[in-house]
Structure 1
Amino acid sequence: MSEALKTVGETLIDLLEVNDVDVVFGIPGVHTVELYRGLAASNIRHVTPRHEQGAGFMADGYARVSGKPGVCLVITGPGLTNIITPMAQAYQDSVPMLVISGVNARATLGHGRGRLHELPDQRGMIATLALLSHTLHDPEDLTEVMERAFAILRSGRPGPVHIEIPTDVMGARIKAPRLRNIVRLRPRADAATINEAASLCLTAKRPVTLVGGGAVSAANDILRLAERLDAPLVTTTNARGAFARHPLSVPASPSLNAVRRLIADADLVLAFGTQMSQTDYDMHVDNGFPELDNLIRIDIDALQLTRGPKAISILSSAENAATDLLAAIGAGTRRQTEGASRAEMTRQAALAELAPKMCVEIGILDAVRDALPGAIIVGDSTQAVYAGNLYYEAGRPHGWFNAATGYGALGYGTPAAIGAAIAEPETPVVCLTGDGGLQFTLAEIGSAKDAGADVIFLVWNNDGYQEIETYMVDNGIEPEGVKPSAPDFLKIAEAYGLPSIRLTHVDELPAALQKFRQIKGPSLIEIHQTKTVGATA
């Protein structure tokens, strides 16, 4: 009997499927059609954006909410260059993303003969912002390369991985491989390191816990540890909602003076899964974050532990470190360090620092959360999002994320919200975007309609790039280039078949959200900063 053969493209789909991939985002082209050969017969859903940048941001939002890698299929050349921005955002925010691209036929690579979609060195270009970038020269290497990709995506600090397949390799027939799901491997610290940290925890009189986006999956164990130590829980932007409304929760940025005072006063700071980077710890670039000589830092990435403040370093997944510390500390009586009162005072002082305009914007975020319990708010770079990054308590883990951290790419919100809605189709998803940022990826509203994604696009219209205009004025610069005109977003929504409303008063927001939540598919609500009553202080 002859041995079963499949094309590389068909085998690729099998390998994705066995590794729990249920959605791929991409735009097919002549240079990738062979990768699609087995897709229709699989259980994998294909979502088509309007632009490869949209594919990448959709994969990002999907990955953050589902916990699985977001997978994209893009053509060689412009398809790959279009997705570079989402890959950079994923790299900075540690989001697992698998980008599979075409590349020209093997015999043509490096010759510069002007082939369609040719780049001088496509893999070399992308390797600077991928955890792995590999060219599949030998069709028989496909299984090994894919297993390596999933090992990287699941076992260390996540980020983007790139595999390019030459057009003459895609259709090559190979032996059907043995399919296996790649096991997730997570580092664990040695007992001596854990015991040293546990001893410091047991003697601390004013402990504080910092929790970043890399530790959200360990939230339950970290909460148990914080309760044992009576330690306030300060969450960075990507960790908001992990401890929603708990008395120890401090949903405020370490860029705020009140939070910095809490941290500076601590005699022990436990930091789980946080880069301790500028966009969370020094948002105003004032270099005011306190020097710490009592920091224990837990991270899955050894290299990351060498960056930032000096600390006792624990190389471990957040889950393993939290459970190991709990075991080492023991199940004795809960320690009393006035943690809840320290957290409450910090919450009040942090809010008091904010300008009245920001407090209004945070109130609108609270209205969204309360009108749609369990909602996910996906943001772009707009003023209300910046306010929320400084102070906002999301209602659930992964209930608040946006592009105003890390790489900071405008246009993120719309497609990322679509990805989030695809990951959790029963969950309310609200995309908070500005009139400027929305126009970066405006066409993806059509993708939301095609995909049946239940996203409410909440447009914060301030007639341009208001954040940049304010910064210019504050620094004595005559504003220029900050007033791009916007379309009538309600007419745009109508053109795509979306129900929409422009609010006359912010008090109308809860009812509008609840109304559109009952409608299948996307919808749009506009708040105008000066024309909607109550939108500004």
Structure 2
Amino acid sequence: MSTRNGGAPNGGAAVVETLAAHGVDTVFGIPGTHNLELYRHLAPCGIRAVTPRHEQGAGYAAEGYARVGGRPGVVLTTSGPGLTNAMTAAAAAYAESQPVLVLSPGVPTGAEGADLGLLHETKDASGAMGRLVRWSRRVASPEEAADAVTEAFAAFRGTRPRPVHLEIPLDVLEQPWGGSPWVGAVTPVPAPDAADVRRAATLLAGARRPLVIAGGGAVDAAAEVRGLAEALRAPVATTVNGKGVLDESHPLAVGAAVRLRALQKAAADSDALLVVGSELGDADLWEGRIGAEAVIRCDIDRGQLHKNCRADVALLGDAAATLRALLAALPERVQAPVDVDGLREACRAEARAGAGGYERINAAVRAGLPADAVLAGDSSQVTYLGSVHFFDVPAPRRFCYTPGYATLGYGLPAAIGASLARPGHPAAVLLGDGAFLFSVQELATAVDLRLPLPIVVVDNGGYREIRDQQEARGIPPVGVDLPVPDLTALAGAFGALGVRTTDPGALTALVADALSADRPTLIHLNNRE
């Protein structure tokens, strides 16, 4: 679409028309004095502007949109504080390998670092963002701005997806633009060496105790993971970001269990471990380690192939294509199947030992939602001790949580982004009161959008996890026991529905009812009474 019936196109049009050419139909951000030339062109290009109440919420919504929809999320901020407000969300997207494009205006050309006292002046906005994202670029012309947007989308499609930032100086936003938007070629994806594929296939086919670990890099290779696992009769465990790559009700599925010692022991006992699309970082392993008699790793990022666990066979390439090649190279195999049921039950028992009442809460919420619903969690115990293990999903891209960056305030805005990425499909939020109050203002955004969003807030009276850590270290509780406001009244003040219960079992009906409402419903579970 063109913006040119509204006057001479400018640098703002160069950016927005190029976004539209790449299929962008939704952006998240807050209009400000300096980004108005971007906002001018959104509606003529058919792009919807969603206005969260804080730029950090815009960033989390864009991340949730990308995580669930598989399409890049776009954030528009104004200069200075608008951009710095979004930095935490950008850093989270980097840690979680999500494709997010952050666009911001910058000081006029020639004013870089001049300390002139300009409105929203920042010493070096691009430099600051460059320390947090894949790349951050300040452009010098409308043509360069359009090219940078195209380059960002090319990188999202052909490499490990990570956020990028584009700074457009104020004068460049207003400069005339005589170009046209263009879509670049997809970045060529490396293919693994054929001999390495054959070697890996031989190892897997001859293994008596094969095991597959699928990470976030495997979310678009679900069919291939399943096909290979069924051919090998091998159990499949996932990292948190890989949750659902294999339907968690599948007979070979162990669940998001990589952090559990039972799974790590099974890996150590394995004679052929295949790791697909994971860095096997501390957020995945919880101070554990992964190793095996023979390790095969597949990743699109060369730097991941030996990280935290050296590979005996390293396969550089796209997960889906590489797994198809592995399956085609498998010789006939006749081996006794692994005891998947025993491994699954050992992992469940270990998770259950640390879950407290969170298993029951998750079971109740799960029962109130359709199988294909999205659940957004937060850095809350009910998420990482509960939902990770006890909220089963049938497919990838159905669970929003940031295990690596472990940010607070993510769940509600991420669910908003997820709802817009899959319109008409249910989503829900399940988190603690501490996390919810980090982004409570986004309740107003959900109300604006009339989202039938169940928001289940588990009342821990503040920061329960940190309180537990203080007690474990012999530190008297400090700054963690906090009063919780009347959340039902708060919901009503925002224009949402609000209900309160002390019974986890009541959540099933309350969540189901919330899905048919014409606005979000805050469900306050006072778990302390």
Q: TM-score, normalised by structure 1?
A: 0.93
| Unmatched tracts of structure 1, length 5 or more | 532-537
Query: Paired residue for 1:360, among 354, 357, 361?
Result: 357
**CA deviation profile, 1:129-178 (whole Å, cap 9, x unmatched):** 12121111122222321221111122111111100000011011111325
1:483–1:105 Cα change, 3 Å: same
**Quick one: distance in 2 between partners of 1:361 and 1:11?**
49
Q: Deviation of residue 389 (structure 1)? A: 5.8
1:89–1:234 Cα change, 3 Å: same
Aligned to 1:535: none
State which drifts further: 139-148 or 472-481. Answer: 139-148
Q: Deviation of residue 66 (structure 1)? A: 0.6
Aligned to 2:511: 513
Aligned to 2:495: 497
Q: How does 1:380-529 map to 2 (within 5 A)?
A: 380-388=378-386, 391-392=389-390, 393-403=392-402, 405-529=403-527
Aligned to 1:337: 336
Is 2:25 aligned against 1:45?
no
**CA deviation profile, 1:457-496 (whole Å, cap 9, x unmatched):** 1101111111111111122111111012221110111111
8 Å CA contact 1:103, 1:167 repeated in 2 = yes
When the two structures are aligned, how many residues end up with a matched partner? 521
Q: Deviation of residue 365 (structure 1)? A: 1.5
Write the letter of the residue equivalent to 1:237.
V
**CA deviation profile, 1:248-270 (whole Å, cap 9, x unmatched):** 10114222221122111110000
Query: Paired residue for 1:133, among 122, 125, 136?
Result: 136
Q: Deviation of residue 207 (structure 1)? A: 0.4
**CA deviation profile, 1:167-214 (whole Å, cap 9, x unmatched):** 011011111325336536432212122111111112111100000111
8 Å CA contact 2:212, 2:229 repeated in 1 = yes
1:248–1:235 Cα change, 3 Å: same
**CA deviation profile, 1:499-527 (whole Å, cap 9, x unmatched):** 12112312211111111111133111111
**CA deviation profile, 1:348-401 (whole Å, cap 9, x unmatched):** 112222455615312322332232121111101111112136523223322223
8 Å CA contact 2:14, 2:143 repeated in 1 = no
State which drifts further: 290-299 or 315-324. Answer: 290-299
**CA deviation profile, 1:233-288 (whole Å, cap 9, x unmatched):** 0011112222220011011422222112211111000000111011111x2x3xx4
Aligned to 1:295: 295
Query: Paired residue for 2:258, among 241, 254, 258?
Result: 254
8 Å CA contact 2:218, 2:245 repeated in 1 = no
Is 2:324 aligned against 1:327?
no
1:355–1:344 Cα change, 3 Å: closer
**Quick one: distance in 1 between partners of 2:336 and 2:189?**
32
1:64–1:417 Cα change, 3 Å: same
Aligned to 1:534: none
CA RMSD, aligned part only?
1.9
8 Å CA contact 1:369, 1:375 repeated in 2 = no
**Quick one: distance in 2 between partners of 1:452 and 1:13?**
26
Q: TM-score, normalised by structure 2?
A: 0.95
Query: Paired residue for 1:193, among 184, 192, 196?
Result: 196
Aligned to 2:102: 99
| Unmatched tracts of structure 2, length 5 or more | none
**Quick one: distance in 2 between partners of 1:349 and 1:66?**
33
Q: Deviation of residue 528 (structure 1)? A: 1.5
State which drifts further: 170-179 or 58-67. Answer: 170-179
8 Å CA contact 1:23, 1:44 repeated in 2 = yes
**Quick one: distance in 2 between partners of 1:175 and 1:511?**
57
Q: Deviation of residue 6 (structure 1)? A: 1.5
